[in-house]
Amino acid sequence: MLYCKHCGAPLEEGQHCLCPAAQAERATLGGAFSQEEPQPVPPSQDGSAPEPEAQAPNPDAGQEQSAGESQWGSGTTTTHSGPVSPPSHGPSSQFSHTLKNLLPFLQAYWHSPSQATRSAVAQKDWLLAALLFGAQMIAAILATLSILFQIRRALSSLFGLMMGGFGVLDDMELSTALSIPYGLLATVLGGALMILMLFALAKLFKSPASFQDAFIACGVNTLPVTALLLVTFLVGLVSLGLGLGLLIMVLPVFAVSGLVPARQLCPDQERGAFQAAYLIGIILVTAITYFLFVAILF
């Protein structure tokens, strides 16, 4: 003999209680019950047990399926259709992802340059490094533009017609034409030689870092130089002397900021040999960059 768990009324096998609590429970579970009083299922003639009732549909199943569909962004994918291939990541989606992560990376770099560099190298985020290299190129062009414009303007005012009679507009046009190759060459030569030096340093000290790791580590650490170049551009529009002073400061900032990627590529090398090797490398990078810069432009 069965009993209702809500009101305690005796029930025959297969019979449902009609008390309000039992009806509310069946409605919550989603069962479809008739308003008429259900009759007990009589036993079969051969004495076998009656067939069990079909279970009420589980409302959580539909919610789980909907959650799985929304996760993949497609209503045609279900949890029973076999392995699901991940969504494709084209160049446009990867670029959008990098742009969305740019501000969080800048915040992380502000708090810990070493940790931010380590994360970028671990994620193989070469697009972020390329984007920051491009930002440094633009900053170098702008800084060179302001300095050259001030120089041309001073010379034009000093010598007048002896220098060709350049006006202010001509000075700006000439400065723009010169600043583009100057800025591009300085950034490309310095960046390429710095990457090669970091990669050679990693191989010298038996680090497993690849050339791509050196590119990423160097690229994400262009931020200090880029910031200084932007300040140089703004100050150079007002004062030639201060602008030149800040432009000269780019070299020591470039050398010091390069220590961060070098230590990330060679994390176990803190002894004097590593410091000496980096010092020699950065001196060679600076000297070769200056020599090639002068040789190409002049």
How many Cβ atoms are within 10 Å of 92's Cβ, its own excluded?
Answer: 8
Residue 9: partners with Cβ closer than 8 Å, 6 or more residues away: 3, 17, 19
For helices 211-220 and 126-159, what crossing angle results, to 10°? 50
Q: What is the pLDDT of residues 165-175, one digit of tens each?
A: 444 445 556 66
Q: What is the pTM of this model?
A: 0.63
Average pLDDT taken over every residue of the chain:
74
Q: How far is the CA of 55 from the CAs of 26, 52, 58, 108, 211, in angstroms?
A: 11, 9, 9, 54, 61
* DSSP annotation of 271: S
Task: Give residue-wise pLDDT tens across range 134-179.
Answer: 999 999 999 888 888 888 777 776 665 554 544 444 555 666 666 7
Secondary structure class of 29 (helix, strand, coil) = coil
Task: Encode pLDDT of 61-110 as tens digits.
Answer: 444 444 333 322 333 333 333 333 334 455 677 778 778 888 888 999 99
**Lowest-confidence segment of 50-54, 149-153, 184-188, 263-267 by average pLDDT:** 50-54
pLDDT of residue 1: 59
Give Cα 278 to chain centroid, integer Å: 28
d(CA 184, CA 175): 14
Strand-pair partners of 3: 10
